[in-house]
Structure 1
Amino acid sequence: MKRARLIYNPTAGKEGIERQLPRILQRLEEKGLETSCHATRHPGDASHAAAEAVKRGFDIVIAAGGDGTIHEVVNGLAPFSSRPQLGIIPSGTSNDLARALHLPRDMVAACEVIGEGRACPMDVGRVQNHYFINVAAAGFLTEVTHQTPSRLKTVLGQFAYYAKGLEKLGTLLRPFRVRLESPQKIVEDEIYLIIVANSPSIGGFDQLAAQADIGDGLLDVLVVRKASLPELVHLVGSVLKGEHLDDERVLYFQTDRLEVISDKPMKLNLDGEWGGDLAGRFETLAGHLSVLCPAENQAPSGKWKKLRHRRGEH
């Protein structure tokens, strides 16, 4: 029987996971997983618990919570040379990674996916000594995700971000200058926002980085250039229609590594959590984690298989 360690955030989403915990554990046991639990108590606790699970030889580590909880668990697993499989039970506000993996929203149904044991390779982004799964972003707009109170997110869900954004709109529009260096291109410009995406689903928007693929070995870079307020309002409309990548105010390209130089210190938002400064080297670790996923996701993407072939990996 495989051993699983369930690391869950009791405050995630609408705080429903503890009510479902007996059913979750029962279903995992029925699927042949000897499962023990760890409830997170403070920021960083999930990372520590995941690292301990690696050292104790668990076969599977299950992250139950939102993208922030998954982010911490991944940062606990990623530094090790040999890592357990990753299972996910989505119970947060946005659940971006769960949507990218087409995981069921129902927590007990997500246990079925974990119990089936089908795995797919998943890329992990790395910047400085931090790892990310969905996105690394910087710009004053990213302050919205950090400053939205957890209680407001619990009550309002995704609408909490929009409410906070409207409240701070007048103070968010401050451009900053960056230099971006990659094998594909070099860019120097004044911008409002930079997004380095590993997943197409970001902040509740399913197609913000529509071409991103968690298994293609590439990072998708999206930059919003300095523009007037009316132009930005128009751009928001383009985002809602999925037409923003054609907008002249948006720079978009794919790369496996990127060097960012900023003219001022900028906080870096990793999967909705603060993670150091923007300036530094971004890279993708292709297929670094094995994530338990629905059957349709099991095979690596064609792009990732081609990338592995080019690098001589098997």
Structure 2
Amino acid sequence: MRKRARIIYNPTSGREALRSDLVDILAVYEQAGYETSAYATTPEPDSAKNEATRAAKEGFDLIVAAGGDGTLNEVINGIAGLEKRPTLAVIPAGTTNDYARALRVPREDPIAAAKLILNPDNRFKIDIGKANENYFMNIAAGGTLTELTYEVPSQMKSLFGYAAYFAKGAELLPQVKPVEMSIKYDGHEFRGKASTIFLALTNSVGGFEQIVPDASLDDGNFSLIIVKDSSLFGMMQLMAKALKGTHVDDPRVIYVKAKDVVVTPLDKDDRLMINLDGEYGGDAPMHFVNLHQHLQVVANMDEIPDNALTAAMQKMEDDFVREIGGMKDPDQK
């Protein structure tokens, strides 16, 4: 039976250029051996999520999420909870495209992004995060500063990309207020005031690749960042350091790897909203679990740094050792 692919695309994502390339994109997946069809998302809630679930349950082998990080997050939430999960491909058409950036998928050329499927080696299994009953593929965050993502108008995001977040962030910095919280992670606990927390699965946060400089895509760990300092001057210092990746050594920052994290506000009157992949994902208390190598994705394997593929590189090394071990010395009889 011929393999099937379903393209789930957002017709209003980014600068709305995706539709003009759709025929050529369909042709690429047909060339790769997939009987391919497309679905345009609607303004209805969970449109992409529901279609992804339907296609997966009907036995589609490949789901292509074409749009911004919001569309991709919906698609992942549509398939991550299923026992049988199709392979996932990404065609970025949003503003920051964090996940595509981490997978080194071409972000300015949708057809080039689709053509990654033509190389059978461009596949590997990637970690996914679970936050209570929701899933995320890039980052979970909480704290006053992260609330700026809710306050940047979508039109401003489309026009200015992540520069819009900087503009709004500068405006909100004076309002940053720490929250007294408990953060339990892999047998340890931070208990005290924190301004911001991040749990990252990739190295790209809002288009910046130094905030989580050593993130691995498949090692089973979150990169957990807890920002303790909350003064205006301190936050500005840390933001400057984050652009260079030197914030991880700052004493005002806890930076660790963790598989299981529970975040709980200690004052019942404090509301701690949690941001999942750039959108509101509910309020803490929240339990985060890293689902190790949970989804197979299509990526630009030639461009992803070796240190971002811990488990994949280890498998390649193990396979190489086994292969060498099974070879006979041609000089021996």
Listed one character per residue, the Cα deviations across residues 293-313 of structure 1 (whole Å, up to 9, x for unaligned) are 223359993357879xxxxxx
2:257 maps to what in 1? 254
Specify whether residues 280 and 304 from structure 1 end up closer, same or farther in structure 2 by C-alpha distance, changes over 3 A only.
farther
Show CA shifts across 1:148-207 (max 9, x none): 111111222222222222333333x11101111122521112111000111111111112
Counterparts of 2:181 and 2:314, CA distance in 1: 32
| Alignment partner, residue 90 of structure 1 | 92
Distance 1:184 1:246 in 2: 22
Q: How many matched pairs?
A: 306
Task: Give the SS at the match of 1:53.
Answer: helix
AA at the equivalent of 1:287: Q
Is residue 192–residue 225 contact of structure 1 (8 Å, CA) maintained in 2? yes
Partner-residue secondary structure (3-state), 2:21: helix
- Give distance in 2, aligned partners of 1:165 and 1:61: 35
Q: Which residue of 2 aligns with 1:143?
A: 147
Name 2:325's counterpart in structure 1.
none
Alignment-derived partner of residue 301 in structure 1: 309
Match of 1:192 among 192, 195, 220: 195
**Aligned positions of 1:119-134 closer than 5 A:** 119-134=123-138
CA distance in 1, matches of 2:194, 2:179: 6
Q: Note closer, same or farther for the CA distance 1:221–1:18 as it changes in structure 2 (3 Å cut).
A: same
Structure 2: distance between partners of 1:65 and 1:292:
15
Q: Distance in 2 between matches of 1:110 and 1:211?
A: 25
TM-score, with length taken from structure 2 = 0.87
- For 1:277, which of 270, 279, 283 is the aligned residue? 283
Mapping of residues 97-136 of structure 1, within 5 Å: 97-105=99-107, 106-117=109-120, 118-136=122-140
Residue number in structure 2 paired with 1:59: 61
- Which secondary structure does the structure 2 equivalent of 1:3 belong to? strand
* Secondary structure at the counterpart of residue 50 of structure 1: helix
Partner of 1:215, secondary structure, is coil
Kindly indicate whether residue 291 of structure 2 is the aligned counterpart of residue 288 of structure 1: no
Percent identity over the alignment? Answer: 40
Deviates more, 1:4-13 or 1:115-124: 115-124
TM normalised by structure 1 equals 0.92
Unaligned runs of 5+ in 2: 316-333
Deviations 1:58-107 (A, max 9, x none): 11000011111111100000010011000100111111111111111221
- Give 1:109 shift: 0.5
Larger radius of gyration: 2
Q: State the Cα distance separating 1:31 from its structure 2 match.
A: 2.6
Displacement, 1:16?
1.4
Q: CA RMSD in A?
A: 2.0
Structure 1 runs, 4 residues or longer, greater than 4 Å off: 297-300, 303-307
Deviation at 1:226, TM superposition (A): 2.8
AA partner of residue 196 (structure 2): L
Equivalent residue letter for 1:280: M
